[in-house]
Amino acid sequence: MSVDLRDWVRNVPDHPQPGIQFKDLTPIFAEPAAFRAAINWFTDQVAKIHPDVIAAIDARGFVFASPVADRLGIPLALVRKSGKLPPPVIKNQYSLEYDDLSVIEMRSDALTEGQRVVIVDDLLATGGTAVAAAELAEELGAHVVAQIFLVELAFLNGRERITSRDPDCEVVSDIVYD
């Protein structure tokens, strides 16, 4: 049975604020065939790149990246919201799509010098979180070779934000909304 994951993305108008068309991926998690299809897609994408480590962004990135890391037998590093990881951590502050500031953290021993890292998250919007996560990885001496997302909101130019910062970083998305 073939699953079109786009069929499982729910649009939520005016969330979290008026004018935003939120893409809700929770229906994918609720349908085993859709979730399996998403994990299979992520696994195929990560396997092509042969990274040393997957870095997963809090929180839905964890849901997708954990089974992929298990299937491929590679380590998983967590990028979390501030205050969620035990020390020692490194931090990065950045702007969100909705004009707020946010802080993400990674354990300072999560990555080592020279490791090839793939960052996984559910959705690419403006690229703020993705770039902040890449900066954390690079602070630890790792090299982000790719960022992989199930959904991309192309009209918000997140891909350009990632590649303008690092032209060698591959950006991969399954579902793209123009």
d(CA 178, CA 17): 20
Beta-carbon contacts of 108 under 8 Å, excluding residues fewer than 6 positions away, are: 88, 89, 90, 140
Of 2, 107, 112, give the one whose Cα is nearest residue 56: 107
Report the phi/psi class of residue 73: left, alpha or beta, with left for phi > 0 and alpha for psi in -120 to 50. Answer: left
**CA-CA distances (angstroms) from residue 45 to 11, 99, 172?**
25, 31, 8
Query: CA-to-CA distance for 159 and 66, rounded, in angstroms?
Result: 23
Catalytic pick from 60, 80, 107, 159?
60
Query: Is residue 60 annotated as a catalytic residue, yes or no?
Result: yes
Mark whether 80 is an active-site residue: no
- Given 31, 71, 97, 116, the catalytic residue: 97
Catalytic machinery residues: 60, 97
